[in-house]
Structure 1
Amino acid sequence: MTPALLLLLLLAQAEGPDAIPDAPAPASAVRWQYLTRGEATALALLPRGGLGTWEGFVQVEPTLVVDGGEEWGLNLGAPVRLQLWGGAPGAGLVRREDWDSLSDWGQLVRGLKLGSDNSTVGVWLGALEGYSLLSGHLVRRYSNRANPDYHPAGAFFTGTLGPLYTEAFASDVLGARLMGAEVALDVQHLLFGRTPQRGRYALALSVVHDWGRAGGRAPSLTLAHLDATAVVLVRPGFEAHLLSGWGGRPGEGGAWGAVVGVGADAVTPTLDMTLRLEVRRQHGGFRQGAFGPDYELARFRAAGPDGVSLAEALFPDGFSVFGESVVGWDSVSYGGLQRHLQLSLAVEAFTWGRLDVDGRVAVQLLDRNVEVALKGLVVGLEQSGARYLGAAEVRWRFLAGRLYALSSGGTLLYPEVDGTLRPGAFASLGLGVDDAR
């Protein structure tokens, strides 16, 4: 995603219709917009000890959003959890695990955007949720907040120079953690000069490395991938492409993987849809999408019977089929990025019997006053040591959308010092109020 799109998405996920203009204003007439918000919820956490005793908190969450148009935007705020009951003897008023490392202070910045879709250089800073690095064959649907006690601010940079397009990212700007980059070469631009449609025929090289030194110590891991993409069909509002690639673990002989697939993008006034279908080959412990939605937990203990980290796990040789669908639909062609339906689903089935599923769906009802969101992650289904996570949230706006009630709940996994993952859960209920100008 581009920085401009991510900022609008961040606003759209949380605000009512008044928070975002229906269409961007001309550059010469940009009007800065502001949103202030306050939320207060009663939060209950099942602690990592797993003894069945709940901890209770009052969670206060202030937010400030400043939208300076296409080139600049800022979103500040973080939840503060004040202990009501439970907790370890001598625990302070504020939940210690939320602020006990330098990386945790990154959660104060939810989003900082510099640049736009048309900029030569763009920068985004904030939480990474469902992030994919260009081709997505190394980093796909990754979240840097999957660990409940680790709240870093990530960042990514995009830049264009002639036929080269580059995207680089860091999962934690305040710690030595996951970092990578992908450089794509526009072959048509290189051979024939600049064309109206960029990237129709492209070659790309990506490298990602995890230093493993923040958010808990874990083994380091390095992966690389080479990709080729060709757009074979272009119609108004529709594009289809073919792709292939090969990857491996530098310095690890025999660890490699290959992929071929097809993809399609469709955009209409009411529909925005991306589809992908791939056949993948894994060998010697390498797999595509290793830095995925489960990675912040798998870096300590991968799903499966081995009981070791992802970097040390013996991933079986074999093939898999991967499918992904991302759909946004709106019945009235609303100009913002809110949709009556937002769906994101990825499924990967392996020939040796494993199944991974990652899905999220959000629907808006009753004139957009009610939003229901569900998400779930299953890793290693039908295998010993499978992992299951899920969450749900409901928001109901009233008084012209300025005041809202919210309720949420779900399951958690807490990484321990010894690398084990302790199960937990959360439930919350509260009110929020916001004002957009």
Structure 2
Amino acid sequence: MHRMRRCLAALLLLLLPMKGWASEPPAPEEEASTAPSAPPARKWHYLTRLEATTFALLPRAGAGSDDGFVQVEPTFIIDGGPEFGVNVGAPVRFRMWGGGEGAGIVRREDWDSLSDWGQLVRGLKFGSDNAPVGIWFGPLEEHRLLSGHLVRRYSNRTNPDYHPAGGIFTAEVGPLYTEAFASDVLGARLMGAEVALDMEHILFGHPKQRGRYTLAVSAVHDWGRAGGRAASVTLAHLDATAGVLLRPDYEVHVVAGWGGRPGEGGAWGAVAGAGLDTQTETLRLRLRLEARSQQGGFRQGFFGADYELARFQAAGTAGVPLADAGFPDGYSAFGEAEVGWDAVSYGGLNKHLKLSLGAEAFSWGRFDVDGRVAVQLFERSLEVALKGLGVGMGQPGARYLGAAEVRWRFLGGKLYAMGTGGTLLFPTAEGTLRPGAFASVGLGVDNAR
């Protein structure tokens, strides 16, 4: 049940790479009163940021002409504590060259649908771990719906011409815990929910450790009516989880589940695995290992890192949407690791590492992997971040994407230089994917230090 903490903390995580771990946590203030009955005062913090960069979209393999822009990106953040926060801002790209006859001064594809206006909201949260209800709005990065067997490592911004704001809702009432999400709160797109029952609570009363034995059911549906028309699809899954070792600083649990595609006979899959979560003052580690079976076109993690592109054209040579693509019967092994390490406690090195990696190997010769790594060096003055995606490797028609970002802070840390670059895939009106690339260099300023 730790997903709620991760969702409601996402407002501050938007400052992490690729957007920069810019500042140390604010130092705790002195107590206003020694009276034991005095409630702690709410501490409000804010951050303002402005970035100005050149931005070029470049063709790959002769796929059209290149476009050049000046990109201005303002950001404003209010942190009202664990129960409230706001992060607003968006990049605006002013055309310098390209686009052909009749092209506007502002890149049209960034603002040509209602969903694109969702990019103005980078984070809006209400509620906390201690509240019965939590709400989050903003971009979804590596999103996982509780058990993760339907939605795992999903991003709603993989399509470079589609910039929706997602929404996450969490609620807890007695033994019942619920998480629901929408990938686009302004359009009819991906929606799903998972409901988990604490069986120990139901059978024996309120437990000392919540979530040790749970049964959960989840369902996800893609309406396919925003971000480009695509086939709709529905999946459902049932999961059982048991905590075999629960301690204040680490947990070990096992999980088993079964899922399918309602209305599609013979489309089902099963999964069994184990996980480890540990958290200390300087290290957060999360490991998952699962064995999976897929039959009739169903697969776990269907809504994954590549989904916003695969919904138009799945990796492979068939050239059809993922909802219609055949998926061979077989087995797979899935592994996932998330590592966050801050060395500031070890002699003040001020070095920070964040790593996230997921990989799946299939019995019939396919291999998928996606991940990102970010590190800060030299007292947080230098940030380097890399991310990559490979889908269908080992088979014809494999898909690859990658990006890198570097930031260097100087003049006391308030001013920084940055450079980014990487590859892209643009969905077209014909349902194909047009390859492209991007590159950007520029300056930014904020009051993080």
Q: Which TM-score bucket, shorter chain as reference?
A: over 0.9
Q: Give the corresponding residue for 1:331.
A: 343
Instruction: Give, in whole Å, the separation in 1 of the partners of 2:208 and 2:310.
Output: 42
Tell me the alpha carbon deviations over residues 354-407 of structure 1, each in whole angstroms, 9 at most, x when there is no partner: 000001000111111101000000000011110000000001111221111110
Identify which of 144, 152, 155 aligns with 2:156. 144
Tell me the alpha carbon deviations over residues 329-373 of structure 1, each in whole angstroms, 9 at most, x when there is no partner: 111249xxx961101011100000000000100011111110100
Query: Aligned in 2, Cα 1:202/1:65: closer, same or farther, shift over 3 Å?
Result: same
State whether residues 398 and 404 of structure 1, in contact with CA within 8 Å, keep that contact through their aligned partners in structure 2. yes
Q: Give the corresponding residue for 1:276.
A: 288
Instruction: Give, in whole Å, the separation in 2 of the partners of 1:151 and 1:24.
Output: 38
Instruction: Give, in whole Å, the separation in 2 of the partners of 1:430 and 1:113.
Output: 30
Q: Give the corresponding residue for 1:287.
A: 299
What aligned pairs does 1:298-309 form with structure 2 within 5 A after superposition?
A: 298-309=310-321
Matched-pair identity in %: 70
Q: Give the corresponding residue for 1:79.
A: 91
Identify which of 11, 31, 46 aligns with 1:7. 11
Tell me the alpha carbon deviations over residues 140-194 of structure 1, each in whole angstroms, 9 at most, x when there is no partner: 0000000000000000000001100000000000000000000000001111111
2:284 is aligned with 1:260: no
Q: Give the corresponding residue for 2:420.
A: 408
2:404 is aligned with 1:392: yes
CA drift at 1:89: 1.0
Instruction: Give, in whole Å, the separation in 2 of the partners of 1:366 and 1:52.
Output: 41
Instruction: Give, in whole Å, the separation in 2 of the partners of 1:24 and 1:263.
Output: 38
CA drift at 1:17: 5.0
Instruction: Give, in whole Å, the separation in 2 of the partners of 1:25 and 1:353.
Output: 60
Amino acid at match of 1:223: L
Tell me the alpha carbon deviations over residues 179-227 of structure 1, each in whole angstroms, 9 at most, x when there is no partner: 0000000001111111231100000000000000000000000000000
Instruction: Report SS of the residue matched to 1:97.
Output: helix
State whether residues 351 and 377 of structure 2, in contact with CA within 8 Å, keep that contact through their aligned partners in structure 1. no
Instruction: Give, in whole Å, the separation in 2 of the partners of 1:425 and 1:175.
Output: 27
Identify which of 372, 387, 392 aligns with 1:360. 372
2:167 is aligned with 1:155: yes
State whether residues 143 and 153 of structure 2, in contact with CA within 8 Å, keep that contact through their aligned partners in structure 1. yes
Instruction: Give, in whole Å, the separation in 2 of the partners of 1:11 and 1:4.
Output: 14
2:217 is aligned with 1:205: yes
Amino acid at match of 1:403: L
CA drift at 1:52: 6.3
Identify which of 164, 177, 181 aligns with 2:189. 177
Q: Give the corresponding residue for 1:187.
A: 199
Instruction: Report SS of the residue matched to 1:228.
Output: strand
2:37 is aligned with 1:37: no
Identify which of 412, 426, 429 aligns with 1:417. 429
Q: Give the corresponding residue for 1:227.
A: 239
Instruction: Give, in whole Å, the separation in 1 of the partners of 2:42 and 2:351.
Output: 24
Which segment drifts farther, 370-379 or 14-23? Answer: 14-23
Query: Aligned in 2, Cα 1:258/1:86: closer, same or farther, shift over 3 Å?
Result: same
Instruction: Give, in whole Å, the separation in 2 of the partners of 1:25 and 1:381.
Output: 56
Identify which of 22, 26, 29 aligns with 1:21. 26
Instruction: Give, in whole Å, the separation in 2 of the partners of 1:154 and 1:49.
Output: 33
2:322 is aligned with 1:318: no
Identify which of 109, 123, 131 aligns with 1:119. 131
State whether residues 347 and 358 of structure 1, in contact with CA within 8 Å, keep that contact through their aligned partners in structure 2. yes
Query: Aligned in 2, Cα 1:64/1:346: closer, same or farther, shift over 3 Å?
Result: same
Instruction: Give, in whole Å, the separation in 1 of the partners of 2:295 and 2:176.
Output: 31
Instruction: Report SS of the residue matched to 2:324.
Output: coil
Which segment drifts farther, 78-87 or 49-58? Answer: 49-58
Q: Give the corresponding residue for 2:36.
A: none
Instruction: Report SS of the residue matched to 1:260.
Output: strand
State whether residues 149 and 237 of structure 2, in contact with CA within 8 Å, keep that contact through their aligned partners in structure 1. yes
Query: Aligned in 2, Cα 1:209/1:47: closer, same or farther, shift over 3 Å?
Result: same
Instruction: Give, in whole Å, the separation in 2 of the partners of 1:132 and 1:24.
Output: 35
Instruction: Give, in whole Å, the separation in 1 of the partners of 2:178 and 2:448.
Output: 35
State whether residues 49 and 422 of structure 1, in contact with CA within 8 Å, keep that contact through their aligned partners in structure 2. no
Instruction: Give, in whole Å, the separation in 1 of the partners of 2:443 and 2:30.
Output: 32
Which segment drifts farther, 190-199 or 50-59? Answer: 50-59
Q: Give the corresponding residue for 1:105.
A: 117
Structure 2 stretches lacking a partner, 5+ long: 32-38
What aligned pairs does 1:337-352 form with structure 2 within 5 A after superposition?
A: 340-352=352-364
Instruction: Give, in whole Å, the separation in 1 of the partners of 2:299 and 2:254.
Output: 20
2:58 is aligned with 1:58: no
Amino acid at match of 2:26: P
Amino acid at match of 2:10: L
Tell me the alpha carbon deviations over residues 85-127 of structure 1, each in whole angstroms, 9 at most, x when there is no partner: 1112110100000000000000000000100111100000000
Instruction: Give, in whole Å, the separation in 1 of the partners of 2:373 and 2:159.
Output: 21
Amino acid at match of 2:268: W
Amino acid at match of 2:298: F
Instruction: Give, in whole Å, the separation in 2 of the partners of 1:170 and 1:403.
Output: 36
User: Normalising by structure 1, what TM-score?
Assistant: 0.96
Instruction: Give, in whole Å, the separation in 1 of the partners of 2:188 and 2:236.
Output: 19
Tell me the alpha carbon deviations over residues 24-60 of structure 1, each in whole angstroms, 9 at most, x when there is no partner: 9997311211111100000110158944642110000
Structure 1 stretches lacking a partner, 5+ long: none
Instruction: Report SS of the residue matched to 2:447.
Output: strand
Instruction: Report SS of the residue matched to 1:392.
Output: strand
CA drift at 1:5: 1.8
Amino acid at match of 2:400: Y
2:257 is aligned with 1:249: no
CA drift at 1:84: 0.2
CA drift at 1:8: 2.4
State whether residues 57 and 82 of structure 1, in contact with CA within 8 Å, keep that contact through their aligned partners in structure 2. yes
